[in-house]
Amino acid sequence: MSLNLTILGCHSATPRVNAYPTSQYLEINNRHFLIDCGEGTQRQMRKYKVGFSKINHIFISHLHGDHFFGLIGLISTFGILNREKDLHIYGPKGIKEITVLQLKLSKSWTKYQLIFHELESKESELIFEDDKVTIYTIPLDHRVYTNGFLFKEKPKLRKLHIANIQQYDEIETCDYHNIKAGKDYVLSTGEVVMNDELTIDPPKPKSYAFCSDTAYKPSIIPIIKNVDLLYHEATFLNDREDLCEKTKHSTAEQAATIANNANVEKLVIGHYSSRYSNLKGFKKEAQAVFKNVELAEAGNLHSINSFPVKVLN
Amino acid sequence: MSLNLTILGCHSATPRVNAYPTSQYLEINNRHFLIDCGEGTQRQMRKYKVGFSKINHIFISHLHGDHFFGLIGLISTFGILNREKDLHIYGPKGIKEITVLQLKLSKSWTKYQLIFHELESKESELIFEDDKVTIYTIPLDHRVYTNGFLFKEKPKLRKLHIANIQQYDEIETCDYHNIKAGKDYVLSTGEVVMNDELTIDPPKPKSYAFCSDTAYKPSIIPIIKNVDLLYHEATFLNDREDLCEKTKHSTAEQAATIANNANVEKLVIGHYSSRYSNLKGFKKEAQAVFKNVELAEAGNLHSINSFPVKVLN
């Protein structure tokens, strides 16, 4: 079980040479997801060696350019690279129309299947599930319809306590599956061996919540409660908290307050306004409320494992 | 009079870390134009210090992504930067629909005026004219409707031959405008002083032709005849000339043949296929036909003046 988040871009809209807009690559339980896709994302994927063929699901939070203007280029590039696998795209209603129009005008229909999952609900909903991972929306408060996304590993099977199992000669290897699934074992004598004698707890499933862009919205706390890793936007410092209501963004302190009240393990903040040339204030103001904070930076790998942050370049 | 061409990107579609798709910034006779706008163009403009506020006219050759996927991001950024001046966009029919849809979905209407000049003609046509410059389309042969663009300085006024003028006491400063415009001067005696005695030729007007993307198309030669600078795509080397017909691209040799037969002063080639990791063959194969060839490279400034090529970074 592992959770690795690679920041591909983490700045807000105004472009600068080394400030890419929002995009993240998430590996969770051997599943691979792209979250948001600002202009230049495909370049950043190349730079940080994110395999194009691993991406089968792309999640777009909202239709502001700094979160999705790179999507059409990536879709086109997949076509150029002769992709054959389906590509699933999750995002606000309208994302299909805009993508299809661009492909039509450029006469660049993809040979692979594009499958759109257009989102409209204002309540958190399950939008993806397989045997390893579930993904829910996190309704946010921004100037346009916006969702964050909650990625959760499914609970693993319990681990066998081999030493204890070996006390019972009649338990065979073929019984292990049921025991790992949590079932008690009934001996031939009719005696019941409780499962918690035969197994130990599996690792706690990992979870990641992505919340960008949004004004301070405490009502998301029950949805993201206890996640291992939270990315929350922090566009402003307290000096310009006055802009938050108008622009529907958050301060670093507000992001940290969400993290603290949701009891998350670790917070990563980003989406810094270009008005701040030095980012130190973001960490300082967040840490006044919540200690375990990292500043997002393109090329950083945040792992919920042994190495908390690794620099990829 | 000057003509300066800055290459912002010159590679074909497949993205790589340091290979940006087509975009060029042209200064001609103190006018400033952006030609094509692949993904990442705004980043390249920042990198090579092209002032955003100088751009009032953008020319899009065709609606393949590597030539226009950066346009919507640039338009949005102009909005974020509180642009007030009109922005004129010239490109194939459809460019308005796609731009407007993206602005609508992102609820990011620009406060400045966007003025679209949609092109449909298959003949060369005048699409821009002011007191300093004229711009014509160059119909190309590609998989979708595509135009190159011919930028021409307007002829300057003739230069005064002061020493000769001073031979005639009655010629006043207020007569200079007519003389510079080429008129003869009639003395009070009725005698006519021919204009070529009073003036010398002005510098030859400069011209630039941009031709990308296109299969080999000799019928463009009369349109681009004698230009000072020609950019012509060269996607393939002779080893893959077989791909030209299918993909509607040119080889380096074909680009050079066009340059040679059009009697241009200097040729710049680009839009290299990503199959070639080494670009030396492009120059070699082009120079076998036409000597004065440069390989396009992002950050290079091609001047029709004293310094033929300057590296900006």
What's the gap in Å between the CA of B89 and the closest CA on chain A? 16
pLDDT digits (tens, 9 = 90+) for A137-178: 999 999 999 999 999 999 888 999 999 999 999 999 999 999
Q: Which residues contact B196 (CB under 8 A, 6 or more apart)?
A: none
Residue range(s) of every CATH 3.60.15.10 domain in chain B: 3-156+203-311
What is the residue-level pLDDT of chain B in tens, covering all 313 positions? 589 999 999 988 766 777 899 999 999 999 999 999 999 999 999 999 999 999 999 999 999 999 999 999 999 999 999 999 999 999 999 999 999 999 999 888 899 999 999 999 999 999 999 999 999 999 999 999 999 999 999 998 899 999 999 999 999 999 999 999 999 999 999 999 999 999 999 888 999 999 999 999 999 999 999 999 999 999 999 999 999 999 999 999 999 999 999 999 999 999 999 899 899 999 999 999 999 999 999 999 999 874 556 666 5
* Cβ-based neighbour number of residue A222 at 10 Å: 9
> Best mutation site among B18, B43, B50 for testing chain A: the one with the most A CBs within 10 Å?
B43
Up-side HSE of residue B223: CA atoms within 13 Å toward CB?
24
The binding site of B for Zn(2+) consists of 62, 64, 66-67, 142, 213, 271
Amino acid A1: pLDDT: 59
Residue A79's pLDDT band, with cuts at 50, 70 and 90, is: very high
Helices A95-105 and A71-80: angle between axes, nearest 10 degrees: 50
Amino acid A142: pLDDT: 97
Q: What is the mean pLDDT of chain A?
A: 94
Q: Which helix (H) or strand (E) holds A104?
A: helix A95-105
Vertex B156: Cα angle to B150 and B158 (nearest 5):
150
Q: Could you say which of B14, B73, B97 has the minimum Cβ distance to residue A39?
A: B73
A197 in the Ramachandran plot: left (φ > 0), alpha (ψ -120 to 50) or beta? alpha
What the block records as the tokens of A108 is 């660049």
- Return the SS3 of A195: helix
Q: How far apart are the first and last CA of chain B?
A: 25
Interface of A with B (CB under 8 A): 13-17, 39-40, 42-43, 46-47, 63-65, 69-70, 72-73, 76-77, 80-81, 92, 94-95, 97-98, 101-102, 105-108, 143-144
The DSSP code for B26 is: E
| Closest by Cα among B265, B254, B267, B261 to B222 | B261
Residues in chain B closer than 8 A to A64 (CB atoms): 106, 108
Q: DSSP characters for B71-107?
A: HHHHHHHHHHTT--S-EEEEEETTHHHHHHHHHHHTT
- As a whole number, mean pLDDT of residues A216-227 equals 98
**What superfamily in CATH does domain B3-156+203-311 come from?**
Ribonuclease Z/Hydroxyacylglutathione hydrolase-like (3.60.15.10)
**In whole angstroms, what is the distance from residue B33 CA to residue A248 CA?**
36
Q: Could you say which of B17, B81, B97 has the minimum Cβ distance to residue A47?
A: B17
Instruction: Decide: A237 and A250 in contact? Cβ < 8 Å.
Output: no
Active-site annotation holds for B66: yes
Instruction: Name the E strands within chain A.
Output: 3-9, 23-28, 31-35, 57-59, 87-92, 114-119, 126-129, 133-139, 147-153, 159-160, 185-186, 192-193, 199-200, 207-211, 229-233, 266-270, 293-295, 300-303, 309-311
Up-side HSE of residue A244: CA atoms within 13 Å toward CB?
23
What the block records as the tokens of A164 is 């204890």
Q: Report CA B295 to chain centroid distance, whole Å.
A: 16
Q: Which residues contact A313 (CB under 8 A, 6 or more apart)?
A: A47, A48, A299
**In whole angstroms, what is the distance from residue A244 CA to residue A112 CA?**
41
What's the gap in Å between the CA of B109 and the closest CA on chain A? 11
What the block records as the tokens of A9 is 């871009």
> Closest chain B residue to A63 measured between Cα atoms?
B106
The one-letter amino acid code at A23 reads: S
Up-side HSE of residue A130: CA atoms within 13 Å toward CB?
8
The pLDDT of residue A306 is above 80 = no
Q: Could you say which of B16, B64, B108 has the minimum Cβ distance to residue A65?
A: B108
What's the gap in Å between the CA of A108 and the closest CA on chain B? 8
What the block records as the tokens of B168 is 């005639």
Q: Does B77 sit within 8 Å of A13, measured CB to CB?
A: yes
Facing residues of A23 across strands?
A: A9
**In whole angstroms, what is the distance from residue A210 CA to residue A303 CA?**
15
**In whole angstroms, what is the distance from residue B288 CA to residue B238 CA?**
12
Instruction: Decide: A198 and A173 in contact? Cβ < 8 Å.
Output: no
Prediction ipTM score:
0.84
**How is the beta sheet containing B293-295 ordered, strand by strand?**
B126-129, B133-139, B147-153, B207-211, B229-233, B266-270, B293-295
The one-letter amino acid code at B124 reads: S
> Closest chain B residue to A44 measured between Cα atoms?
B17
**In whole angstroms, what is the distance from residue B212 CA to residue B272 CA?**
11
Q: Could you say which of B46, B63, B98 has the minimum Cβ distance to residue A17?
A: B46
Handedness of CA B190, B191, B194, B195 (dihedral sign): negative
Virtual torsion, Cα A69, B51, B29, B283, nearest 10 deg: -60
**Max CA pair span of chain B:** 75
pLDDT digits (tens, 9 = 90+) for A239-296: 999 999 999 999 999 999 999 999 999 999 999 998 998 999 999 999 999 999 999 9
Residues in chain B closer than 8 A to A144 (CB atoms): 106-107
| Closest by Cα among B196, B194, B197, B220 to B209 | B220
Q: How long is chain A?
A: 313
Which ranges in chain B belong to alpha helices (H)? Answer: 41-47, 65-68, 71-80, 95-105, 162-165, 176-180, 195-198, 221-224, 242-247, 252-261, 280-287
Q: Which residues contact A104 (CB under 8 A, 6 or more apart)?
A: none
* Cβ-based neighbour number of residue B131 at 10 Å: 7
Amino acid B1: pLDDT: 59
